[in-house]
Structure 1
Amino acid sequence: MRLPALLAAVLAVPLLSACVDDRASWSIDGTREHALSVIREQPLFWDKKVNLYVVVSRMPACNRRHALGAGSENTRVEVYQVPSGAFVVKAGKRMYATESQTCESWARLEEEPAEGLGELRGVFRVRNGQFAFFAEQPEAAGEDAE
């Protein structure tokens, strides 16, 4: 009776290992208490769809998880910051505005704001098999654009 259960467990391991369930964070002001994170979940290994979530937190004041929608394992999530301090999160063609004062605001943007997306802070993406946040590197002062 133990053999069928053991066999089922062994056969399930490769199936479970194909699922995506990871997260990456950006420390907004260099602390863990103020961050924007992206969570990727693929509940069914045979489904190519990955559910994306954004967690905005400024502890201990607020912490909120918002649904970003579905993507693939390779969907890039870009983060922009507007002068007011709010953020625009972009995944593919979907864009949302959020903030970290109350962590409650989450609004879909149907088109790019007239004043632009703001300053690119970085991108959540897969590199060398790892999902991580890659900060935008500021251009060196004095370099001329070609």
Structure 2
Amino acid sequence: MRRTWVLLAPLVLAGCIKDSESHYIDGNEHTLSVRVAQDYFWKDSVDVTVVAARWPDCQRQFDFGELPVGQMELELFAAGENVYSFRAGQRTWQLETRSCTLLPTPAPEALGEPVGVFRMGEDKFVFEKAAGA
């Protein structure tokens, strides 16, 4: 019985998603990175974590919760100096990267200018820059 579980383990883990992608704001020292993780292939959502970093001043991780795998698009907006907004469907978040702080939920008109979108690509998680960004 134990041997059966050992042989089935790779099948259970196959198809799971664990990936990340970064948007470089000002070289390697100022970035926004999004991590997605799907622990089981039958789970229809991914856990989303955003890491804001502006070295050497700050680095902080923010848990954005779960988002559906099939609709995994996390839009990124620039809303002023060191202020960035994220939108996934009806959910929005805003971060400040001067001290890596989560700000109150922004109003839809205060999201800022489009920078790009983090999304599930054909075989990996990608960041696509917005036209004109």
Provide TM-score, normalisation by structure 1.
0.81
Tell me, in whole angstroms, the C-alpha distance in 2 between the residues paired with 1:54 and 1:66: 5
Aligned partner of 1:102 in structure 2 is 99
CA shift for structure 1 position 64: 0.6
More strand by share: 2
Q: Which amino acid aligns with 1:128?
A: E
Mark the CA change 1:47 to 1:70 in structure 2 (over 3 Å): closer, same or farther.
same
1:65 aligns to 2:61 (yes or no): yes
Displacement of 1:15 in angstroms is 0.9
C-alpha change, 1:85 and 1:33, in structure 2 (3 Å) is: closer
Report the CA distance between 1:129 and its aligned residue. 1.9
Q: What's the CA shift for 1:6?
A: 4.4
Structure 2 length-normalised TM: 0.88
**Matched pairs, number:** 132
Taking every aligned residue pair, what percent have the same amino acid on both sides?
A: 30
For residues 128 and 101 of structure 1, what CA distance do their matches in structure 2 show? 34
Tell me the residue number matched to 2:84: 87
- Counterpart of 1:122 in structure 2: which amino acid? G
- Name stretches of at least 5 consecutive residues in structure 1 with no aligned partner: 140-146
7-16 vs 32-41, which moves further: 7-16
After TM superposition, give the deviation of residue 43 of structure 1 in Å.
2.2
| Residue 122 (structure 1) aligns with | 116
For residues 108 and 5 of structure 1, what CA distance do their matches in structure 2 show?
A: 49
Deviation at 1:37, TM superposition (A): 0.8
Gaps of 5+ in 2: none
Q: Aligned-pair distance for 1:5?
A: 4.5
Task: For 1:52, give the aligned amino acid.
Answer: V
3-state secondary structure, aligned to 2:99? coil
Matches of 2:16 and 2:8, distance apart in 1: 15
Report the CA distance shift for 1:40/1:122 in structure 2 as closer, same or farther (over 3 A): same
Corresponding position: 1:36 with 2:28: no
- Tell me the SS of whatever aligns to 2:101: coil
Deviations 1:17-51 (A, max 9, x none): 2221111111012x122100111112233221211
